[in-house]
Amino acid sequence: MRTGGNNTFYIHTFGCQMNHADSGIITALLQQEGYSPAESEDDAGIILLNTCAVREHAVDRIENYLQHLHGLKKRHKGLIVGVAGCVPQFQRQDMFSISPAIDFLAGPDTYRSLPLLIEQVRAGLKPAAVEFDSAETYEGIDPVRQGSISAFVPVMRGCNNMCAFCVVPFTRGRERSHPFSSVIGEVRQLVASGYREITLLGQNVNSYCDPEEGRNFAALLDAVSCEAPKQRIRFSTSHPKDISEALVRTIADRQNICNHVHLPVQSGSSRMLGLMNRGHSIEEYREKIALIREVIPGVVLTTDLIAGFCGEEEEDHQATLELLSDVRFDLAYMFFYSERPGTLAARTLEDDVPEAVKKRRLQEIIDLQNTISEELYQGTIGTVVEVLAESESKRSSQQLMGRTDTNRVVVFDREHFQAGERLHVLITSATSATLIGKPLHSGIHLS
Ligand code: SAM
Ligand code: SF4
Ligand code: F3S
């Protein structure tokens, strides 16, 4: 039975960190208008899906979820269902045909109009707000954040690159950066509120350009790290073509900027990178990696990969495997290519690698990467790492989960430690994705 009132809302967030950050903005905007968050879907008068369109599978998940909500609406008269984020922005009015459960649509630049959209639904309409607004950065909105340890701070929205496989330029619109001063103001507030880790976010974070004085991402990162000297500073996601030497030196110089760079490569073959319109060759990528490793001792690198993009031959795939063996990334997010309607690839290239081949190549990539990750993680056994404790471990209430500065996940005995504390952990065992250890001395607190 629903216990919340009509003005309670529940948000399901799918997709990337930007979407999760946007859900915090939506929450703040709705609260300003007198709506209150519900504990669960069952308690809500309004259910909002904040959606992702990056791969077909992501859209399938939303469609399945809408079927479930359709059933829920039959039982709960008056329940309002809105679809926000990248899928409605991409599909526009056609989105309504996916499910009769949908009452309204809101694209990523229209969240300020959410209260109006809800009123319109109550007046019997099926509104859709899916216009781009290339000036919208939600400045002045103080997002409601999940948790009190780690905070995302979007520093830019949208993307001006046109990677052939990618839907994001069509769902998020033109790139726009937040003013330097407003990012610093937000960071100052987070420090005052006791956050321990701050992650600067953008689809292409290192192409940041301050709209007021033209300052670049290296300058922003440096300023943020000075403003929050006791906090860990992270950033995501960087584009290889926009990694500058100044940025790499800033990471090395500022002790609280984490020694982790997530640098999506997508393929190990220059021919594929050309077809993907990534704007760099694999040799240039390898040079950037060499620079990062030379300047930042102990840095950890992670990446994204796509198997079976249009025209990929066996030798291109072998080049990807070779790159993995050479670079030895700590971790990779690995996908097989999923054609997205409207993208450059869908319009100009043939999705010609058979699904079975895509999946076989992806599996080879995953197998190799898992072996490498496991070797790297096994190599840390017996070492001591500094961990920021984040939460209870999923497996046991007697253990906490945290991360190293290099973003490795560590599970360790709770003893008397609390989430939010920094401590030294002796690594005693490892899988390909997790380090397991014991706090070194219960007495040592680093914070
Ligand atoms: N902005 C980031 C960059 O430039 O690398 C990536 C953002 S994208 C949301 C995250 C990852 O999803 C990409 O790096 C890519 O590996 C993967 N991806 C994007 N479009 C895809 C598609 N059509 N099929 C499979 N994977 C895709
Ligand atoms: Fe997509 Fe490329 Fe933009 Fe990343 S940089 S969001 S992959 S278009
Ligand atoms: Fe997905 Fe949109 Fe992010 S398509 S990956 S939620 S920007």
Confidence of residue 58 (pLDDT cuts 50, 70, 90): confident
- Check if 54 has its Cβ closer than 6 Å to any atom of ligand 3: yes
- What distance in angstroms lies between residue 86's CA and the mean position of ligand 3's atoms? 6
Q: Report percent pLDDT > 70 for the chain.
A: 98
How do residues 406-438 score in pLDDT, each as one tens digit? 999 999 999 999 999 999 999 999 998 999 999
1: pLDDT strictly greater than 70 = no
Pairing of β 80-85 and β 104-106? parallel
- Measured from the CA of 343, which atom of ligand 1 is nearest? 23
The model's pTM is: 0.94
Q: Are the C-beta atoms of residues 437 and 414 closer than 8 Å to each other? A: no
- Check if 101 has its Cβ closer than 6 Å to any atom of ligand 1: no
- Check if 176 has its Cβ closer than 6 Å to any atom of ligand 2: no
CB count, 10 Å around CB of 32? 12
- What distance in angstroms lies between residue 299's CA and the mean position of ligand 1's atoms? 23
- Check if 251 has its Cβ closer than 6 Å to any atom of ligand 1: no
Residues in the chain: 447
Architecture of domain 384-444 in this structure = Beta Barrel (2.40)
Q: Is the domain defined by 149-258 classed in CATH 3.40.50.1580?
A: no
- The conformation of residue 158, written as its DSSP 8-state character, comes to S
Mean pLDDT of the chain: 95
CB count, 10 Å around CB of 279? 15
* Segments making up each domain of the chain, as ranges: 8-129, 149-258, 384-444
- What distance in angstroms lies between residue 30's CA and the mean position of ligand 3's atoms? 22
2: pLDDT strictly greater than 60 = no
- Check if 304 has its Cβ closer than 6 Å to any atom of ligand 1: yes
Architecture of domain 8-129 in this structure = 3-Layer(aba) Sandwich (3.40)
pLDDT of the residue at 446: 54
How do residues 232-265 score in pLDDT, each as one tens digit? 999 999 999 999 999 999 999 999 999 999 999 9
